[in-house]
């Protein structure tokens, strides 16, 4: 395998960003390193920073003509170098570009409230001077419980999947790493954090937290994320590959609600069915496209909830410790019952038992045949077939 890596670097001679092309023929590497490099490339983490450990193996320029193999190309978006190939931090870039030793460099994707929080002095939070009544403490307690449940779900970890474009006049196709059952598990938890009528949803937890810390910079930052989160609900989804630059006629809130009310939390009534069909018509009637949009939007919302929510959950833990709080929050079922999911599923259990008995039977067949070369493994297929017939498990 021949890998190509384009690196962005800052030349301190003229203070200009430039590209550096690197290559590596993995066939020239030690077998263990070769396997590690190719595995890391194939795992394809979003930032590609995991490839940095192999930076010293790459050569600059174009590979020789006799390099053969599959060509893999990639970049590491958040990685920069100086002119001699050493990693360059954002702060070092700021100093080089401005000549000011106190300059600070912020990535372009940072929001104004992120920048403000970074440059604002942050006094310590004195928990001894903060008091929360039981009802408010209960809100952030249950919010923290459900947040941690959500962060353990498969959909949160693996994302909403991908939408493949139509081929030869076909339709868009949705593929995910998570099952329908895992999606339903995520939606059940997400709904408790999202729905306005839930007693400990995200917005109510933010209100308790910001009310307790008032003008502290961390409270302003959490409130800014919550405001951004709320404002986004009235905007149309912004990831619509099948429609190009066109804007959808429904909001993120409408999209999520029609799925919750027709597919997950409720049986649909006429109103919700009509709304679902209106959303479906807006994407050309393709359910794969609409479902991908739904999964993408709830996943993005979960990330926003996590960004602010982990701060709230940490505050809850520290507050309870500082005040020796005995607040009773019903634990998650998965916490109370660690044995959930540890038993074999019926199909797995049956397959294992049949296999084990077939192996025992194969030894009997082998011994009856005079122990020929190849051992009992030669008789496994015959043993499995006869065991399935005897147990009535014939396909």
Least confident of 160-164, 295-299, 355-359, 363-367: 160-164
> Hey, how many other C-beta atoms are within 10 angstroms of the C-beta on 95?
16
Whether residue 125 sits in one domain with residue 93: no
Checking if the pLDDT of 243 tops 90, the result is no
Q: Is residue 343 within 8 Å of residue 156, measured between CB atoms?
A: no
- This prediction has a pTM of 0.76
Same domain, 191 and 299: yes
What element of type H or E holds 226? helix 217-232
Q: What DSSP state is assigned to residue 344?
A: P
Question: Binning pLDDT at 50, 70 and 90, where does residue 395 land?
Answer: low
| pLDDT of the residue at 242 | 54
Q: CA–CA separation, 188 vs 321, rounded Å?
A: 30
Which has the higher per-residue pLDDT, 65 or 76? 76
Assess whether 203 and 322 both reside in one domain.
yes
Closest to 364 measured CA to CA, from 381, 345, 383:
383
pLDDT value at position 367?
93
Q: Looking up tokens 């929050």, which residue turns up?
A: 329
- Do 37 and 85 sit in the same domain of this protein? yes
Domain closes at, from 310, 336, 362: 336
pLDDT at 130 over 50: yes
In the predicted structure, residue 345 carries a pLDDT above the cut 90 = no
pLDDT band at 299 (very low <50, low <70, confident <90, very high): very high
Residue 331, SS3 per DSSP: coil
Cα pseudo-dihedral 341, 345, 348, 349, rounded to 10: 110
pLDDT computed for residue 168 by the predictor: 47
pLDDT at 144: 96
Instruction: Looking at the structure, tell me whether residues 91 and 227 fall in a common domain.
Output: no
pLDDT average, residue stretch 251-274: 93
DSSP class of 115: H
Please state which of the ranges 191-200, 292-301, 327-336 shows the lowest mean pLDDT: 327-336
Tokens of 288: 């794969």
User: For residue 286, what pLDDT band results from cuts at 50, 70 and 90?
Assistant: confident
Q: Are 155 and 186 in contact (CB under 8 A)?
A: yes
Residues 188, 291 share a domain:
yes
- Of 314, 140, 311, 108, the C-alpha closest to 217 is 311
Residue 239, pLDDT > 80, answer no
Distance CA 216, CA 121 (A): 10
End position of a domain, from candidates 66, 98, 130: 98
In a domain? residue 351: yes
Is residue 320 scored above 60 in pLDDT?
yes
Q: Which range, of 234-243, 258-267, 296-305, 342-351, averages the lowest pLDDT?
A: 234-243
* Averaged confidence pLDDT in the chain: 88
| pLDDT of residue 260 exceeding 90 | yes
Lowest mean pLDDT among 115-119, 183-187, 352-356: 115-119
Domain count, the chain: 3
Tracing tokens 């994320």 back to the chain, one arrives at 225
Residues 78 and 197 in one domain: no
Residue range 264-282: mean pLDDT, rounded: 92
Beta strands in 156-226 (DSSP E): 162-164, 173-175
Confidence of residue 394 (pLDDT cuts 50, 70, 90): low
Are 55 and 158 within one domain?
no
- Percent of the chain exceeding pLDDT 90 equals 54
What would the two tokens of residue 299 be? 């996943």
Contact predicate 111/42, CB 8 Å = no
The closest of 296, 280, 292 to 248, measured between CA atoms, is 280
**CA dihedral of 260, 264, 266, 268, whole degrees rounded to 10:** 80
H-helix segments, 12-111: 31-43, 90-98
Distance CA 295, CA 287 (A): 12
Residue 354's domain spans which residues? 346-391
């Amino acid at each position: 395998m021949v890998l190509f890596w384009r690196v962005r670097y800052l030349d301190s001679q003229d203070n200009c960003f430039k590209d550096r092309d690197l290559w590596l023929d993995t066939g020239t590497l030690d077998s263990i390193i070769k396997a590690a490099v190719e595995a890391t490339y194939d795992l394809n983490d979003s930032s590609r920073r995991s490839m940095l450990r192999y930076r010293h193996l790459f050569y600059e320029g174009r590979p020789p003509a006799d390099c053969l193999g599959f060509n893999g190309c990639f970049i590491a978006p958040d990685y920069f170098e100086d002119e001699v190939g050493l990693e360059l931090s954002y702060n070092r870039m700021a100093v080089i570009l401005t000549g000011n030793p106190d300059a600070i460099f912020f990535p372009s994707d940072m929001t104004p409230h992120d920048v403000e929080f970074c440059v604002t002095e942050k006094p310590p939070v004195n928990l001894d001077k903060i008091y929360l009544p039981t009802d408010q403490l209960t809100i952030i307690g249950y919010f923290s419980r459900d947040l941690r449940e959500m962060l353990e779900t498969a959909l949160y970890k693996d994302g909403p999947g991908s939408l493949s474009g139509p081929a030869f006049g076909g339709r868009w196709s949705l593929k995910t790493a998570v099952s329908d059952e895992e999606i339903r598990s995520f939606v059940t938890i997400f709904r408790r954090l999202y729905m306005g009528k839930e007693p400990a949803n995200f917005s109510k937890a933010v209100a308790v937290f910001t009310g307790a810390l008032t003008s502290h910079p961390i409270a302003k930052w959490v409130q800014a994320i919550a405001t951004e989160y709320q404002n986004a609900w009235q905007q149309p989804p912004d990831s619509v590959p099948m429609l190009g630059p066109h804007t959808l006629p429904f909001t993120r809130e409408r999209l999520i609600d029609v799925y919750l009310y027709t597919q997950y939390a409720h049986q649909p009534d006429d109103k919700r069915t009509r709304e679902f069909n209106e959303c479906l018509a807006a994407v050309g009637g393709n359910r794969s496209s609409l479902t991908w949009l739904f999964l993408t939007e709830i996943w993005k919302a979960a990330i926003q909830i996590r960004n602010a929510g982990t701060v709230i959950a940490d505050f809850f833990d520290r507050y309870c410790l500082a005040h020796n709080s005995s607040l009773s929050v019903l634990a998650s079922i998965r916490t109370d019952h660690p044995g959930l999911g540890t038993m074999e599923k019926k199909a797995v259990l049956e397959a294992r038992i049949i296999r084990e008995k077939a192996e025992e039977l194969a030894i009997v067949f082998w011994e009856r045949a005079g122990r020929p070369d190849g051992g009992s493994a030669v008789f496994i297929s015959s043993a499995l077939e006869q065991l399935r017939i005897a147990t009535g498990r014939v396909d």
